[in-house]
Structure 1
Amino acid sequence: MIKAFLNSFQILTPAEIEQFEKLLTIRHLKKGSFFISEGKYSKEVAFINSGILRSFFTPESGEEITYCITFPKALMAAYSALITGMPTMENIQVVADVELLIIQKHDIDRLQETSHNWVHFFKIIAEQQYLELEKRLFLFQKEKAKKRYIDLLENQPNYIQQIPLQFLASYLGITPRHLSRLRREIHL
């Protein structure tokens, strides 16, 4: 799966992809465990082979706010902490058991020193992360919860049922009760 993901960018040579694969370690995490917790330093990037992760923060109110749900065939990290070297302000938690392929930040830095292709690849990854964040922000501000839920259903139909109601509701910016009503209305 990782080889197909890397090949899809049409940037890296077969030798560079093989070099990348040799740097990966496999990590299995169970539902409810954490990939990273608030206050920790982010020193690795994960490719999600299987399972689901959610990113959330806890404001002073104490109510967790889920702002990102990440599905298989995607990269995941506490990106701002990875870039700045500061402790993360977010938590990344396992929603459904995951198999992750992990690469360390120092290995990413070394790869970028070996070839311009890696610099180009990681630039595209950073741009994609920005675009996803912007899309989410615009969707959240512009569209109603029903539309956001339908978009999620259309894009991730195989995984949506694995996300607990309270996490999904938080991600959509609504209460679990409102989400239950939306589900009944859509699935009639």
Structure 2
Amino acid sequence: MTQNTAWRNVELAINNLKAANLLAADKLASCAEEQLAPLLRPSGYFNIKTKRLKNLCRFLHEEGFAKLHTMSTGDLRRRLLNLNGIGPETADAILLYAFERDVFVIDAYTRRIFSRFGLVSGNETYDQLQDRFEAALDADAAIYNEYHALIVQHAKSFCRVQPRCGDCILRMECKFVNK
């Protein structure tokens, strides 16, 4: 639900799902699209997101979380990427946050911050950036989770599309603000 939308709109959709008692894979998988789509409306592209969310939930429910949890990270990632609407970022977020796998998530926030600091060009592929992060950090899901969460928080608070450089504690090290 987070693709191409502000987090506050995703929160509205999640609150709609909570209010409808639909925050479980089996419930979402069996929910009629006509009932689900209006609940996802705040997240934008709600008809497409409804189909994709149902596909993911159907997969999780049918395969079973316990069975999926025993799969190798590579196999599970391939299975996720084969689902309609699941790309590398979404697959890796599921691997990191739901399955606690040692996979670093690359997102727009990561690209923005690290390109503004001059640490990446911004033209790297997803896999190239992921390889760089994973080579620089200990392979540990808890570390990846915390580091990614800090990147997201910093990007949402200061390193926005329209940055708040004057309030940023990292501004002295930032090439973007110092050019």
- TM exceeding 0.5: no
Q: TM-score, normalised by structure 2?
A: 0.30
Compare the two structures and name the one with the higher helix fraction. Answer: 2
Which is richer in strand? 1
Higher relative contact order (CA 8 A, sep 6+): 1
Could you state the TM-score of these two structures normalised by the residue count of structure 1?
0.29
